[in-house]
């Protein structure tokens, strides 16, 4: 028995597998058994890379022709499972598309889902997942009961992506069956948020600002510092809620998880909900005028001072290099 067959819900980003996908494939490979990637869309651009990260089989629905990925993906997965090629475990990324497909598949298969996980282990026939609760203060381990396929979603950056020596995965067609009325909704346009510089969740350096900046215009200091360091700018929820910066910049429990080499928190208190999104960073630098601020509890380098004095000096010094 044991877990013999694992699927990973695979996504493309700019012509390559997304970082989430590669992280999940690497972890799936470490659990033992065979690993397949399931691409809801055309897999031709990414099948080779998926193979390199351990997928021996790449299911692909082919181009969706404007169908919604959630509806089409769940139906295509169900069709393969009904055809007898059923996995023991399906690993999804904890993002919009992953959750959409997973929840619809959960209904179709009448199987429960476990979401927001940061780890998974296999013990004989049992699959156990680990989930942070209370803002990451406590870890809960849950074991799936009943029969598979077990459906689990994982937070980004839970695992390290490591390329193996695998060849290109064998591409297997997994066409979308007739969706009936559910297939009526169509994607008519896709808007990509404009951004310059590295992506927040992939940048090697992240500079984040919080309410301690005092006012919206002062976020320019965070942008400047991020630009000089060739990093990305992030934010606490307090200033996202205040409308200073868009939600796409939010770091934390209900925002993005980042693990850069260097994270610089400027005027951020270090609430657990913020820290759960950045405490895995290699080096943390905090600038805060309150020496009791919780962010100093995780900082490798703490600067007790006013952001309006420290940041301009830092920017000036870096510009002068
Ligand atoms: C369900 C839930 C989910 C949440 N999800 C998130 C999330 O994803 N991300 C997130 O960030 N938060 C999240 N929060 C909110 C979180 O609890 C905090 O409210 C938020 O992180 C606080 O943001 P902040 O640190 O910018 O503001 P504050 O807590 O107000 O801290 C401001 C800090 O700036 C310092 N400061 C003030 N003036 C200066 C100055 N001139 N120079 C230097 N320092 C100064 C202060 O000492 C203080 O430490 C969530 C909350 C809940 C309930």
Where along the chain do its domains lie?
5-184, 205-319
Q: Which two tokens stand for residue 14?
A: 């700019």
The three-class DSSP label of residue 233 is strand
> Ligand 1: which of 116, 134, 269 to mutate, judged by most atoms within 8 Å of the beta carbon?
269
Which residues are bridge partners to 121 per DSSP? 128
Residues of the chain scoring pLDDT < 50: none
Distance from the CA of 271 to the center of ligand 1, in angstroms? Answer: 6
Smallest CA separation from ligand 1 atom 2, residue: 273
Smallest CA separation from ligand 1 atom 31, residue: 269
**Domain formed by 5-184, architecture:** 3-Layer(aba) Sandwich (3.40)
> Ligand 1: which of 238, 245, 292, 297 to mutate, judged by most atoms within 8 Å of the beta carbon?
238
The confidence score (pLDDT) of residue 166 equals 76
The confidence score (pLDDT) of residue 1 equals 61
Smallest CA separation from ligand 1 atom 22, residue: 238
Q: Which atom number of ligand 1 is nearest to the Cα of residue 253?
A: 8
CB-defined site of ligand 1, < 6 Å? 210-212, 236-239, 250-255, 267-269, 271, 273-274, 277, 287-290, 293, 306-308
Distance from the CA of 23 to the center of ligand 1, in angstroms? Answer: 29
The confidence score (pLDDT) of residue 198 equals 87
Distance from the CA of 268 to the center of ligand 1, in angstroms? Answer: 5
Q: For the chain, state the CA radius of gyration.
A: 21
Q: Provide the strand spans (E) within the chain.
A: 5-10, 12-13, 16-17, 34-39, 57-60, 89-93, 113-117, 119-123, 126-133, 138-143, 150-154, 170-173, 205-209, 232-235, 262-266, 283-288, 301-304
Distance from the CA of 42 to the center of ligand 1, in angstroms? Answer: 42
Q: How many CB atoms lie within 10 A of CB 215?
A: 10
Q: How far apart (Å, rounded) are the C-alpha atoms in residues 238 and 251? A: 11
Whether the domain at 5-184 and the domain at 205-319 fall into the same CATH topology = yes
Please report, in angstroms and rounded to a whole number, the separation of the first and last CA atoms in the chain.
61
Model-level pTM?
0.81
Closest to 12 (Cα-Cα) out of 35, 42, 36, 32: 42
* CATH of the domain spanning 205-319: 3.40.50.1220
């Amino acid at each position: 028995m044991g877990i013999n067959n694992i699927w990973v819900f695979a996504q493309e980003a700019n012509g390559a597998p997304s970082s989430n996908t590669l992280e999940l494939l690497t972890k799936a490979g470490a659990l033992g058994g065979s690993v397949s990637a399931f691409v809801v869309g055309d897999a031709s651009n990414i099948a080779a890379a998926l193979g390199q990260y351990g997928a021996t089989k790449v299911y692909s629905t082919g181009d969706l022709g404007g169908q919604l990925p959630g509806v089409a993906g769940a139906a295509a997965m169900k069709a393969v499972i009904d055809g007898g090629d059923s996995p023991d475990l399906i690993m999804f990324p904890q993002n919009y598309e992953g959750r959409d497909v997973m929840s619809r598949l959960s209904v179709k298969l009448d199987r429960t889902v476990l979401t927001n996980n940061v780890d998974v282990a296999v013990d004989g026939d049992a699959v156990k997942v680990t989930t942070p609760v209370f803002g990451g203060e406590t870890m809960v381990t849950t074991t799936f009961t009943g029969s598979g396929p077990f459906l689990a979603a994982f937070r980004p950056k839970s695992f390290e992506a490591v390329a193996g020596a695998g060849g290109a995965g064998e591409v297997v067609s997994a066409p979308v069956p007739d969706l009936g009325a559910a297939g009526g909704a169509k994607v008519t346009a896709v808007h990509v948020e404009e951004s310059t510089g590295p992506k927040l969740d992939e940048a090697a350096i992240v500079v984040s600002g919080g309410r301690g900046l005092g006012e919206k215009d002062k976020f320019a200091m965070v942008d400047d510092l991020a630009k000089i360091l060739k990093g990305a700018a992030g934010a606490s929820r307090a200033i996202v809620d205040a409308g200073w910066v868009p939600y796409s910049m939010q770091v934390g429990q209900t925002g993005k998880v980042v693990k850069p080499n260097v994270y610089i928190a400027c005027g951020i208190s270090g609430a657990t909900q913020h820290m759960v999104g950045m405490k895995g960073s290699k080096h943390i630098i905090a600038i805060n005028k309150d020496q009791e601020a919780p962010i100093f509890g995780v900082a490798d380098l703490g600067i007790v001072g006013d952001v309006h004095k420290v940041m301009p000096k830092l920017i000036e010094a870096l510009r002068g290099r």
